[in-house]
Amino acid sequence: MSVRRTRKSEKKLWDEDYTKTRLKRSKNRAVILSTIVFFCFSVICVRLSYLMVVDHEKLSQRAERQYRRTKVLRPQRGVIWDRNMRELAVNVETDSLYAVPSQVNDVDELSFLLAPLIKTSAGGLSGKISARKNKEFIWLARKMDRETSFRVNKLKSRLKLSELGVLTETKRYYPKGRIAAHILGHTNIDNEGLAGIELEYDSYMKGKAKKVQLGRDARGYSLSNGIEDNIQGYSLLLTIDEGIQHIVEREIDIAVQKWEAEAAVVIMMDPKSGRILAIANRPTYDPNLPGKVSAAGRRNRAITDMYEPGSTFKAILASAAIDEGVVKRGEKFDVSDGYIKVPGGVIRDVHRHGILDFREVIQKSSNVGAVQIGNKLGKELYYEYMRKFGFGEKTGIDLPGETRGLLRRPENWSGRSLASMSIGQEIGVTPLQLLRAYSAIANGGKLMRPYVVSEIISSEGEVIKRFSPKMERRVISRYCSAIMRGILKTVVEEGGTARRAFIKGNPVAGKTGTAQMVDPETGGYSKNDYVSSFVGFVPADDPELALIVVVYKPRGARYGGVVAAPVFRSIIEDTLVYLNIPMEREENSVLLVSKTR
């Protein structure tokens, strides 16, 4: 029975159509595969539709970025020229060294090899790299000098140091070294202004970074379409004359060395326009190496340091007295006692005189006579004229760091203040403030604003901004100015205190000053430390140049007529030659000065 069933089953198995079965199965697989393909195709179509319709703008921008890139163009700093277009500050290309810390295998070995070349310690360099081990970029030495750059590149090539790289940067360079250092100032490692006109006009000279779109081909190569990477900030044309500046720098060096002075300041200015022709300070510095000197060496004393002007201030007193009519030119003053009593003590003359007229009080620099004039003028009027002459306020010069000086209001004066201020004490002025005041006396009574930049110029040569002379206000009348010029001329003539400022052929007008400095320990006036000064202008009757010389703590002499007046003469004599300004007097004829120094 069981045998029959088995045979029957076997018959059914072998009797089945195997070909049909295979076709059926293939058809099922084809259906499944078609379904999968259709589904995938549908997904792709839906995705493409989404990308083309919904995400089109985003993808277009991404494609654009693949073939175009934005580059930030860093501008070069503008050039600085003197008034004759001679370069005082320029840019030079230098190499800067960087490392890729993540690629440095042996930090200590690299630091050991590199540190002596870039003048740093191996330990410090190693610590700097190790602290940024995961970074892709780190500066090691910015703006190296040529010798250092050569040695670094030689080491890099010899040892095949791929973890080191060199980039070209621009560095600020002052080709004349110390010349006009306190006018120019200096920049930091990133060419940002830190002092002088580099700071004052930084926003003009540094320019603005510019973003440009550069095309790239399929291989990533730049398609610049002629775009220049080198853009430049605005340049400055100064009122400074390099030739005059050189004369001033030379003579101030001679004076400081001769008198072993602690410091000195010289400023030359066009009294009619306010243009600054030269400023020199000692101590000084090389703006290429500002970190090599102390802050004292970088300080522009011409505008930052106050001092008591002493007898040079008597010209301000005299101008006020004449302009107000409280004294007459021939008025007599009895100074025969040699001293005058004032609240709290007495004020004395250095040399005893008899009866002096008004002119002689200034010519011989009588303290006793000046106090008498001050009493006639009164503190309210005197204060008013000091303010009119610009004391107690900034001159407005386009240099940073200027101070206002010190001028107290009359209600804050002591009983002695009027007498003290009449001889240039109890008031703090800067050299520039005093020179500006004398320039007003010289030019007919107009107080001018001093300035050092005459034009701002684009890289294409277009004048972006031009600065012109500006009169702040009238201080004294033309009549008063003419009288004061005549009085100040006598100071340099026979019988005056400034015979050593005399220049043959060109009359000088000016005034000496010898002021005691305050002793910081006692709070009183020092018996050893003085400020010796001379301020004046030439030619006296039609001034072209105004000059102030201030020497701090000279040794061996202290009088302004001995220490400062000769410096004035030497500078003016050579400047007259340089500028071809003719003599006014030479046997009743006009001659052109000719001198070799």
For residue 352, how many other CB atoms are within 10 A of its CB? 13
> Quick check: 358 and 329 in contact, CB under 8 A?
yes
Q: Is 275 helix (H, G, I), strand (E, B) or coil?
A: strand
Q: Are 102 and 136 in contact (CB under 8 A)?
A: yes
Catalytic residue among 111, 149, 273, 311: 311
Identify whether 459 is a catalytic site residue.
no
Bridging pattern class, strands 235-238 and 222-223: unpaired
Listed residue (72, 59, 63) closest to 214, CA to CA? 72
CA distances from 39 to 26, 42, 503 (A): 20, 5, 107
Distance between CA atoms of residues 500 and 193, nearest Å: 41
Across-strand partners of 487? none
CA distance 594 to 597: 10
CA distance 165 to 139: 10
DSSP of 396-460:
--SSTT----B---GGG--TTHHHHHHTT-S-BB-HHHHHHHHHHHHTTSEEEPPBSEEEEE-TT
Using CB atoms within 10 Å of the CB of residue 74, give its burial: 0 to 12 exposed, 13 to 18 middle, 19+ buried. Answer: middle
Kind of pairing, strands 80-81 and 235-238?
parallel
Minimal CA–CA distance to 434: which of 451, 447, 417? 447
**490-495-498 Cα angle (round to 5):** 65
CB within 8 A of 23, min separation 6: which ones? none
Instruction: Tell me the pairing of strands 453-457 and 345-348.
Output: unpaired
CB 130 within 8 A of CB 107: yes
What distances in angstroms separate CA 375 from CA 65, 91, 421, 492, one per listed residue? 82, 58, 11, 27
Closest by Cα among 169, 116, 118 to 143: 169
In whole angstroms, give the CA distance from residue 27 to residue 33.
Answer: 10
Closest by Cα among 570, 590, 574, 571 to 582: 590
Q: What is the DSSP letter of 527?
A: E
291 bridge partner residues: none
Which residues are known to be catalytic?
Answer: 311
